[in-house]
Amino acid sequence: MGGNLSSELKSSKYKKREIVDLRKMNIDKLPPTVGALQCKELLLSENDLITIPEEIGKLSKVEIIDFSKNRINYIPPEIGSLSTLKQLFLSNNKLFYTPLTPNLGSLKSLTRLDLSANQLDDLPVELSKLEALEYLDISDNQLQSFPLEFGKLYNLQVFNCSKNSLKSLPGEISGWVKLQELNVSNNQLTFLPNQICLLGLLSTLNVGFNKLQQVPEELSSMVSLTDLDLKVNPPLQYVPQLSNLRQLKKLSIRNLQITHLPLGLGLLSELIELDIRDNPQLKEIPYDIATLINLQKLDLFGNNMRIVPREIGNLINLQHLDLRQNKLTIDNIPSEIGKLVNLKKLLLSNNLLVALPPEISSMKALKEFEASNNQLQSVPAEIGELTGLTKINLSGNKLTSIPPSFGNLSELVICDLKSNEIAELPNTLNGLKACTKFDLSHNMLTELPWEFGDLTGLTILDVGHNPLTIPPNPIVMKGTETIIQWLKKNEKEGRKGKVSGLGIQGGDN
């Protein structure tokens, strides 16, 4: 629409607008008349632009330009003339094709620059002259380094260089004295410079998904940190003490090689989320975890744990507890777990449980419960007291039945009982009116309760690999809707007799 756009940009429709919004209009070429606009915001994201005309440099009042999600491979040097420009968005283009113009460094008013997702392998050193810059996103490129001169970006508050190929961070980052957020995750870093600990205002540090072999002991001096992410650094065997990080709210030390948790963890009273999953050498959790009374999410997946400490009952604000993929037995889950009355998600799958702790009946706030792939032989009747449950997964156990109280779970949406030894179902399951997905495959069922005909909200009922006669196999093969309709239609006669093939044979009342 190049020709039409050229004339439109000349017209009063756009010429005097403060915001010119041309997003998602399939524009493949920007006409030179763009230079006549008097706008403060020029929005051209999600088009098919390949180049930007040099007349872009004539936008004397523009403060925000958004060229993201195009196919732009060239930025004209005239862009450096935009003395009023404060925010420039160039993400998701093809800027690797030609070197970025050094004139970008002339944008003295620029506070926000986004160059992410452009396959860039080099950046002009002149970007270090952007003395007003507060936000710089160069993530999702192919950078192995960035100019040391970037340390002169003294006003930088947010720096995102994730998803690149950085092998190290220069000590010059100590110049970022105003930095609050640093994301260098998903790189090839093997160490962090000690100078990183001089960033006294840093609140968020994400160095996850690297190859860190060590982190500075001085990490404990970064007292402004509220979010520390060290996850998935497999070579890392030691995390220094964190006792001084009293403002920390989120901590992830997932998938490391640590044999014990960092000292002082119990002093982090503001902690809300703690992710310790996939540390198989850890094996136990220290008792001082009991002091983390503000904790809402605790992930202990895959730690070869054999014991849950009784002190876990003190975590009264906990909402999410993941204990999957450990070596827990019913004897080593303390009754104190019943004190977690605010818990919304409890995950116990892939352990050695032969029974469920009856104390779960006190977890009235529970929405999601999972205990698949254990050795459960029965489900306690108390399960029916968890009337707020929306999802339950008890697949891969040795269950032969489920209690009638199961029908009290009136808010249950997803129920997974596959791969058990269930031979009979209670006639109370018509109480599961909210259920949309029910998996009973790979069991020993010969009959479905006639009450299943009342579950008209079911969209998926999987009863495959059962020796069913009610309903007969040809009906089962036709799927959920046919099964429900058949049960409803044949209920009256079916209760009087028995099914043989497709027919109902009369019997005594």
Domain boundaries, the chain: 1-142
Question: What are the φ and ψ backbone dihedral angles of 369, each rounded to 5 degrees?
Answer: -130, 130
Q: How far apart are CA 224 and CA 181, in angstroms?
A: 11
Residue 346: CB partners within 8 Å, gap ≥ 6?
A: 321, 323, 340, 360, 363, 366, 368, 369, 370
Q: How far apart are CA 42 and CA 19, in angstroms?
A: 6
> How far is C-alpha 146 from the geometric centre of its chain's CA atoms?
29
Mapped onto helix, strand or coil, the DSSP state of residue 414 is: strand
Query: Which pLDDT does position 498 carry in this prediction?
Result: 55
- Which two structure tokens, joined as six digits, stand for 400? 């032969």
Does the predicted model carry a pTM greater than 0.85? yes
For residues 342-371, one letter each, b for 16 or more C-beta atoms within 10 angstroms of the residue's C-beta and e for the rest, the string is ebbbbbbbbbebebbbebbbbbeebbbbbb
pLDDT band for position 507 (cuts 50, 70, 90): very low
Taking every pair of Cα atoms in the chain, the longest distance, rounded to a whole number of angstroms, is: 94
Query: Which pLDDT does position 272 carry in this prediction?
Result: 98
Query: Which pLDDT does position 4 carry in this prediction?
Result: 72
| Residue-wise pLDDT tens digits, 306-356 | 999 999 999 999 999 999 999 999 999 999 999 999 999 999 999 999 999
Phi-psi region of 444 (alpha: psi -120 to 50; beta: other; left: phi over 0): alpha
| Residue-wise pLDDT tens digits, 59-86 | 999 999 999 999 999 999 999 999 999 9
Distances from the Cα of 270 to the Cα of 9, 160, 240, 285, angstroms? 54, 26, 19, 19
Q: How far apart are CA 233 and CA 325, in angstroms?
A: 20
| Residue-wise pLDDT tens digits, 468-506 | 999 999 999 999 999 999 999 988 877 766 554 455 444
| Residue-wise pLDDT tens digits, 424-468 | 999 999 999 999 999 999 999 999 999 999 999 999 999 999 999
Q: How far apart are CA 345 and CA 321, in angstroms?
A: 6
Pairing verdict, β 87-89 and 64-66: parallel
Query: Which pLDDT does position 75 carry in this prediction?
Result: 96
**β-pair partners for 206:** 183, 229
CATH class name, domain 1-142 = alpha beta
CB 62 within 8 A of CB 40: yes
Phi-psi region of 388 (alpha: psi -120 to 50; beta: other; left: phi over 0): alpha
| Residue-wise pLDDT tens digits, 175-229 | 999 999 999 999 999 999 999 999 999 999 999 999 999 999 999 999 999 999 9
Q: How far apart are CA 211 and CA 502, in angstroms?
A: 63
**β-pair partners for 438:** 415, 461
Q: How far apart are CA 315 and CA 297, in angstroms?
A: 10
Q: Is the peptide bond before 471 cis (omega within 30 degrees of 0)?
A: yes
Pairing verdict, β 503-505 and 498-500: antiparallel
Query: Which pLDDT does position 13 carry in this prediction?
Result: 74
Q: Tell me which DSSP letter residue 470 carries.
A: B
Question: CA nearest 112: which of 80, 93, 136, 96?
Answer: 136
Please work out, in degrees rounded to the nearest 5, the angle formed at the alpha carbon of residue 262 by the alpha carbons of 260 and 267. Answer: 130
Residue 439: in which H helix or E strand, if any? strand 437-439
> How far is C-alpha 11 from the geometric centre of its chain's CA atoms?
46
**β-pair partners for 370:** 347, 393
Query: Which pLDDT does position 509 carry in this prediction?
Result: 34
